[in-house]
Amino acid sequence: MKNDYIPFHKPLVTDDEINEVVDTIKSGWWTTGPKTLKFENEFNSFIGSKFSLAVSSWTAAAHLALEAIGLQTGDEVIVPSITFTATAEIVCYFKAKPVIVDVQEDSFNIDPEEIEKHITNKTRAVIPVHYGGNPCDMDEILKLARLNNFKIIEDAAHSLPAKYKGRMIGTIGDATCFSFYVTKTLATGEGGMISTDDEEIASRCSIMRLHGINSDAWKRYTSEGSWYYEVVAPGFKYNFTDIQASLGLAQLKKLEIMQSARKNIFNKYNSLLADNGLLKLYKYKDDVEPSYHLYPILLDIEGLKITRSQVIDELKNMGIGTSVHFIPLYRHPYYRETYNLDIKNYPVSEYIYPRIITLPIWPGISDSQIDRVTEGLNSITRKFKK
């Protein structure tokens, strides 16, 4: 990798993270323990939820949430087409069916009208993905859930912190799952959290995340604990470690500073790309406060002599890392073939997919790096304009 390569993402690391991790390593308590508990409590107060449970990933969190609502073989769960495979694969764990529906053109979020069209008597849940930390149309989704008696498990992998009409993401649906994967707005390498106000969901997730044994089992190695435990279900091992919690505690303290840094980068990109003429910029509605996890742009491919993939290659040759969020689910062989999906049913996703590029946005990216990204992109579109 070239020295001046601008990565798509780089986590913000300061002495806070390093000192907290060193402290944990020296303490000898490396797996789930007091720091995980502290992180859960601080996270829970930050979100304003009743319960927050830390686990090994978003995927683990959402698997547990679906298990806790009693998802069964043959049930259906509605998910958006533009998301990471994890959103749908967890439904498959239950031999239930992920019903993949199209998104809205402006937000790339699940379209409530598409949800409504796909509700059947087997629909048990919807998993709205707040794309790039842009909250979905939750009022519409809540209305449909009430009328049709299904649960809402929010995919907030990108949405820490974000607000919908003044309400924190994590306090709206039946359960909300967050990701602390290294590229996310709060990074612990790997990790996830389930936030819920529902005591039954919280209690079931708490048991199932640790082998189906009682929730304080980790305490059995402390002076407060006892060697005795009982297994009440065949659970999973989805432990969050105190080493991860150390990173989480340090990052949580500066979460809002990191969010405003992302907002500044978003605004800088917008002003430096505003006159490009061959790009469509992503916009937020006034009633949301996004996390600014992604910076997506749509290329005017009709006005260009090269494809989106070639633009990505050109940027790469200039030492600029980018990504595509996401390859729509129905384009992956597994989903397409298993559920016999037809591209024609996804006109909005098919418009977005060949045009989209996500640019580097992370606290710590310098003004000169932002200049290089925007000058690079502007020069490519100038050079390959039809």
Ligand X SMILES: Cc1ncc(COP(=O)(O)O)c(C=O)c1O
Which residue ranges make up the site for ligand X (CB under 6 A)?
57-59, 83-84, 86-87, 129, 155, 157-158, 179, 181, 192
Provide the H-helix boundaries in the chain: 15-27, 34-47, 58-68, 86-92, 112-118, 138-148, 199-208, 242-253, 255-273, 308-317, 333-338, 347-352, 367-383
Between CA 382 and CA 114 the distance in angstroms is 38
Count of Cβ atoms closer than 10 Å to residue 354 Cβ:
13
Closest CB to ligand X among residues 63, 124: 63
Q: Is 176 exposed, middle or buried (0-12, 13-18, 19+ CB in 10 A)?
A: buried
Q: Distance between CA atoms of 176 and 65, rounded to whole angstroms?
A: 8
For residue 184, indicate whether it is catalytic: yes
CB of 130 to ligand X, least distance (A): 8
Distance from C-alpha of 283 to C-alpha of 271, rounded to nearest angstrom? 13
Residue (157 or 261) nearer to ligand X, CB: 157
Instruction: Check 35, 97, 184, 268 and give the catalytic one.
Output: 184
| 252/304 with CB nearer ligand X | 252
Among 6, 99, 35, which residue's Cα sits nearest to residue 368? 6
Distance from CA of residue 280 to its chain's centroid? 23
Alpha carbons within 13 angstroms on the beta-carbon side of residue 122 total 13
Of 9, 8, 27, nearest in space to 19 by CA: 27
**CB 98 to ligand X: min, Å:** 13
Between 83 and 195, CB nearer to ligand X: 83
The distance of closest approach from Cβ of residue 214 to ligand X in the complex, given in angstroms and rounded to an integer, is 25
Burial of 309 (0-12, 13-18, 19+ CB in 10 A): exposed
Cβ nearer to ligand X, comparing 204 with 293: 293
* Least distance to ligand X, CB of residue 173, Å: 14
Least spacing, CB of residue 181 vs ligand X, in Å: 4
The residue (of 44 and 323) whose beta carbon lies closer to ligand X is: 323
Task: Provide Rg for the chain, Cα atoms.
Answer: 21
Catalytic positions, please? 184
